[in-house]
Amino acid sequence: MKRAIALLLSVLMLVAVFTGCGKKEAGSSSDKGDDKPYIAIISMGFQHQFWQAVKQGAEKAAEEFGATITFEGPESETMVDKQVEMLKTAIARNPDAICIAAIDSAAVLPDLEAAAKKGIKIIGFDSGVEGDIALTTCATDNIAASALAAKHMAELIGGKGEIGMIIHSQTAVDGAMRRDGFKNYIEENYPDIKIVDIQYADGDHLKSADAAKAMIQAYPNLKGIYGSNEGSAVGAMNGADELNRTDLVIVGFDSGALIKNGIKNGKMAGAITQDPIGIGYKSVEYAIKAIKGEELPKVVDTGAYWYDATNIDSEQIAPLLYD
């Protein structure tokens, strides 16, 4: 009997050893039974079509470069704590690289620094992350893109008059850049244009509409409003429409069905479109380069373009617009 029990214990110990040897941490390449690099992608949001287009580009690159990716983001682009939680979970899966578009750079920085110490490569995309933690950032040059919006706004209002700005974020890097690029271009090139108000509305349609209406009522001579993302621009358009200010020049940033419809029906003058598919694709491409130890540029510009009723359906612009 003792011999049988000893034999059974020996078998159980062997099973435990082999099971332990085969067990890998979740999310690692070896856990998937292959040698593919694993890249965790954490965006500012998830439900908006912009982020779905970024996801599409990332998936395309992952297939081409032989990588495994996960893509996630909070429901709202204001949910800082939720994004931090997602980042912590991603780090626990021990990815080879993390691509992140931070809502609040200060909030995610401690965890990103801890990840970098573990050898995880950090890549920024879209809003990126402030500081030097990211090896590169794949994004629209938001300073140049918003300056392009300012140039068209100035031309559309005849180079003089009062204008306002509705910005989607005070904490995200892209919000500050789209504010400063527009503001600085106007101040440096058009002394007869005065920016009378800058409001922040979290990229929310309703908050942005309320901000636009307050702005219009406070400044009856207002000639135009710039919205720094889809929600800001649509809100500005809706606010002007509710107050029957069809004379206002509304210039936006990003795409989406509401912006496209607004441009086609004349309620919005035009907007800047990014290349969200390109952002996702480049993020994965440069994460792979980082994993391989290649030297990366500090910024990878993924491009931006002005579109209005004259070119919205053109071969160059139409593929960059999303709903």
Can you give the pLDDT at residue 34?
63
Q: Are 39 and 287 in contact (CB under 8 A)?
A: yes
Q: Which residues of the chain have pLDDT under 50?
A: 1-33
* pLDDT at residue 323, rounded to an integer: 76
The C-alpha atoms of residue 177 and residue 147 are separated, in whole angstroms, by 10
3-class secondary-structure state, position 131? coil
Question: Where do the structural domains in the chain lie, given as residue ranges?
Answer: 24-139+276-292, 142-274+308-320
- Whole-structure pTM value: 0.71
Question: How does DSSP classify residue 205?
Answer: H
CA nearest to 77, candidates 176, 234, 226, 204: 204
Is the separation of the CB atoms in 173 and 163 below 8 Å?
Answer: no
Rounded Cα–Cα distance for residues 212 and 240 (Å) = 7
CA distances from 113 to 98, 130, 179 (A): 12, 12, 28
Q: Tell me if domain 24-139+276-292 and domain 142-274+308-320 are identical in fold.
A: yes
- pLDDT (0 to 100) of residue 168: 96
Q: What angle do CA 166, 229, 61 make, to 5 degrees?
A: 160
Fold of 24-139+276-292: Rossmann fold (3.40.50)
Query: 142-274+308-320: what CATH class?
Result: alpha beta
- Unique residue bearing structure tokens 């429409």: 241
Distance CA 22, CA 237 (A): 58
